[in-house]
Structure 1
Amino acid sequence: MPRPRRVARVPHSPRRLARDRHGRGLRSPVTGPHLPLLSTRIDEFEMTIAATASYLRGLWPELDGAVFEVSQAPAEAIHDDHVDRWHVFHDERRIVFFRLPIVRFLRLQEGEDKDEKLLIESCVFRAVGELIGRDPWELAPGRYRHF
């Protein structure tokens, strides 16, 4: 019986091996092609800030040119008596929210997503109040009346 000829194998790069394990092809998303992708905690944080900012923009025309940004954490966030959770740039009309200081100091139990969203909203209200020079409770007087 004749022996099969050996074919020279092209060496694979380590990156290709990680994506094409055992010759099965590239990996697909866990949710499949017909379901939406899962949202992460970072996405939820950014969506809460965006929703609160759009709500406040609808109430206050002073916020038309304001920019809301999300950053992980600043380099100079820790001071002697507090930790910065946001920074307001008055001349640029820009607010930068720092996700890690806001979320890490929550001390919530599992499943308390509503409390986390309320804390994020309160940070947005306080930062916007600082930007336009108003008390945060004046920004939306009837918003929390049902609590």
Structure 2
Amino acid sequence: MDTPTPPQPTQRQRRRDRHGRGMRGPIAPPQVPLALSRADAFDDLVRDATERLERRWPQLAEVDFVVQDVPGRPDAELADGALPEDGVPLGRLVEGRKGSPPRIVVYRRPVEIRSKSREDRALLVHDVIVEQVAELLGLSPENVDPRYGED
């Protein structure tokens, strides 16, 4: 008896050009600021402020500058979850230990919330880094950078 042969599966090629509109691509080329995420743009602000200070204070090349989204649970936090009197920190200095250099941490989200524009954010990032460097070096912020606090 003649047995029908099952139909052979056809290999369909997957294409992204489903409706003849061309291949999908990025919304904006990589060199356009639109292609930067908010975190990447914030990292650039920290890098710019750091490079500016390292030209004046070469010993800062030994310091690690780190960006974190939000502060972790601070040691000064009260048991009931209330924040300390000075509120949410914008940055902090972590002293160096054996084998690890000092770190200056800048908290991205608290800085973004307190600034209205990119220019305000750049000034605030600069001020936070200057304050932490001043604490590290044992100087006043005005001695670290004469432009500290300028609007």
TM-score normalized by the length of structure 2: 0.69
Per the alignment, do residues 26 and 128 of structure 1 end up closer, same or farther by CA in structure 2, a change over 3 Å counting? farther
Task: Please name the residue that 1:80 is paired with.
Answer: 84
C-alpha offsets along residues 75-133 of structure 1, whole Å, 9 cap, x if unaligned? Answer: 21563221121121112311111101111133x2xxx3222211111111111111221
Query: Is residue 2:127 matched to residue 1:118?
Result: no
Which residue in the other structure is 2:132 paired with?
A: 127
The residue number in structure 2 matching 1:50 is: 47
Alignment of 1:84-95 (within 5 A): 84-91=89-96, 92-95=101-104
Q: Deviations over 1:50-74 (max 9, x none)?
A: 1111111111133120110111112
* Residue in structure 1 matched with residue 31 of structure 2 by the alignment: 36
Could you tell me the TM-score, scaled by structure 1's length? 0.71
Structure 2: where are the runs of 5+ without partners? 1-5, 78-82
Supply the distance in 1 between the matched residues of 2:94 and 2:62 (Cα, whole angstroms). 13
1:67–1:20 CA distance, 2 compared to 1 (3 A): same
Aligned pair count reads 131
* Mapped partners of 1:88, 1:129: distance in 2: 10
The one-letter code sitting in structure 1 at the alignment partner of 2:90 is R
Cα 1:115–1:74 change in 2 (3 A) is closer
Q: Give structure 1 stretches of 5+ with no counterpart.
A: 12-16
